[in-house]
Amino acid sequence: MNVKQYTFSELAAKQVVNVADGRQLGHTCDMVFTACGRILGLVVPGKKSLFRSFTSSDNLFVPWNNIVKIGGDVILVEMVGGVSVMKDSADDYDDA
């Protein structure tokens, strides 16, 4: 079986679309890995509000098992009931 491999740059260039509601979620801005290097999911930038336009916004986490298809221009995901939100906070990266 021939498995297609992608670089992060190739994935970041593709639009992420939720097939459950047809909503365009944006482009991949990051990926989350386990300590062993297994991909847990993609991170898509959250929408910025008027009050948060100059600060980082909450990011959307798309678990790897929710990816339906990686096509030429788009990554199709199925996120029924919404998407997981990753809070962009320094507290999330505490080394203690």
The domain limits of the chain are: 8-46+55-86
CATH number of 8-46+55-86: 2.30.30.240
Q: Coil, helix or strand for 12?
A: helix
Q: Which residues contact 46 (CB under 8 A, 6 or more apart)?
A: 57, 58, 59, 60, 85
pLDDT for residue 64:
94
How far is Cα 61 from Cα 79, in angstroms, rounded to an integer?
A: 10
pLDDT at 73: 95
Flag whether the pTM goes above 0.85: no
Beta partners for residue 77, in sequence order: 18, 67
Tell me, what's the pLDDT at 34? Answer: 94
Q: What is the pLDDT along the chain (96 residues), one digit of tens a residue?
A: 678 899 999 999 999 999 999 999 999 999 999 999 999 999 999 776 555 555 556 889 999 999 999 999 999 999 987 656 555 443 443 333
Distance of CA 64 to the CA centre of its chain: 9
CA atoms within 13 A on the CB side of 73: 1
Instruction: Give the separation between CA 35 and CA 16, rounded to whole angstroms.
Output: 25
Give the pair of three-digit tokens for residue 25. 């979620």
Instruction: Please give the Cα distance from 28 to 57 (Å, whole number).
Output: 14
